[in-house]
Amino acid sequence: MLKYARNIAITLIGIAPLLVSASLAQQNPVTAIDIALEPDATMLQHAQADNARLLKSFPKGFALDATHNPHVTMLQQFVRTADLEKVYAALDKVFATEKPTSWKLKAFKYYYIPVPPVGLAGIVVEPTEDLLRLQQKIIDAVTPYTEKTGTPAAFMSTEDGKDIQGSLLNYVADFVTIAAGKKFNPHVTIGSVLKLT
């Protein structure tokens, strides 16, 4: 069984998930966000061990570290940078009524998603009524501040946006349609691989 830690995070999507800085807010009118649950120590141990195993067979993959934190994404969206404080306040209200730290969640399989030239592997968590309800509350809270689309400048990037692929822009823009509700697949990404066996 998995129990998520108390720390609920809203982070920027990208290579280095960091909090918004004043300079970023001045430069980009739209910010890509990832509202995520950070797992507890048990899930972190499993994710780190699996990541180490993947890196042994595929050293070009990424290590779980300060720039690749294990998490369960609840929502990805483009929001107006000027409204980020309002987004935080709206989410504070949601988490005042929901207590995910008391939930028992079950990890039940691994996944592999081809993302050329390699793919992503992860641990899948069974979706529960609690997770689905929380996700819908998060979507409702963030919707007033969303934008339909964004550019690579909306993401944190270590390569001046060259690492932000068009498929990621589409995924964030379409998250509610393709990855929420009945299509929600809660998971913790554990690394990149050529193919999961």
| pLDDT single digits (tens) 52-102 | 999 998 898 888 987 788 889 999 999 999 999 999 999 989 999 998 888
Using CA atoms, how far residue 2 sits from 40, 52, 119, in Å, is 7, 20, 25
Q: Residue 124: what residue type?
A: V
CA distance 137 to 159: 34
| pLDDT single digits (tens) 4-15 | 333 334 443 332
- DSSP track, 37-87: EEE-HHHHHHHHHHHHHHHHH-TTSPPPBTTB---EEEEEEEEEGGGHHHH
Residue 24 scores a pLDDT above 70 = no
**Mean pLDDT for the chain overall:** 81
Residue 16 confidence (pLDDT): 27
CA distance 96 to 153: 32
Domain spans of the chain? 4-107+128-188
Predicted TM-score (pTM) of this structure: 0.82
Higher pLDDT among residues 120 and 115, named by residue:
120
CA distance 130 to 122: 21
| pLDDT single digits (tens) 163-180 | 667 778 899 999 999 999
In SS3 terms, 6-41 reads as EEEEEEECECCCCCCCHHHHHHCCEEEEEEEEEECH
CB neighbours of residue 153 within 10 Å:
16
